[in-house]
Amino acid sequence: MGDSGGMAVARATATELREFAAEAGFDGVDVTADLGGGWSAVYGADQPDSAAAALARRTGAPVLTVAYLDSDVGFVEGATFAGGSWKALLNRETAERYEIPVDRFPVEAALAGALDWAAAGGLTADPEGVRAALTGSEAFAEDLTERLLGALGIAPAAPGEEGA
């Protein structure tokens, strides 16, 4: 059985991000990861819609969230403190088998939003790498999330316990 939880990535300490995620309605946040460069990730069992915007307001920094559907599909939401937002779908071919309307997640709009998001975070993104993550196919959506983070300029790291 795959992961049906979610994650959030932001420029904040893992402790701060855990607290902010709980305030924003994340459920079961118990694993954190330091991604380097001041970026951290939290992993939880469930997250509310629009969590990225709430976390961006709280952190004052860009936030990226991913909600997983049994590790098969990832629903990405990015938000900046200034109010910019974008959405994407990871593992589009698999999403189609779930009958998820992939046309609601246009790749070009997601690519533009992702590049703006990275710039707002002071990151140097690789546009072709971002496109490859947004259009790629993997056995697990989490693998595409790692590729996306790397292409956005954040070095992904395996989750680890940090003050659980």
Q: Tell me the Cα Rg of the chain.
A: 14
DSSP category for residue 160: B
Tokens representing residue 8 in the block? 């959030």
What's the pLDDT band for 26 if we cut at 50, 70, 90? confident
- Identify the residue whose tokens are 């937002």: 85
CA distance 102 to 51: 21
Tens of pLDDT, residue by residue over 104-160, are: 999 999 999 999 999 999 999 999 999 999 999 999 999 999 999 999 999 765 444
Question: What is the pTM assigned to this prediction?
Answer: 0.90
Q: With 60 as the cut, is the pLDDT of residue 1 above it?
A: no
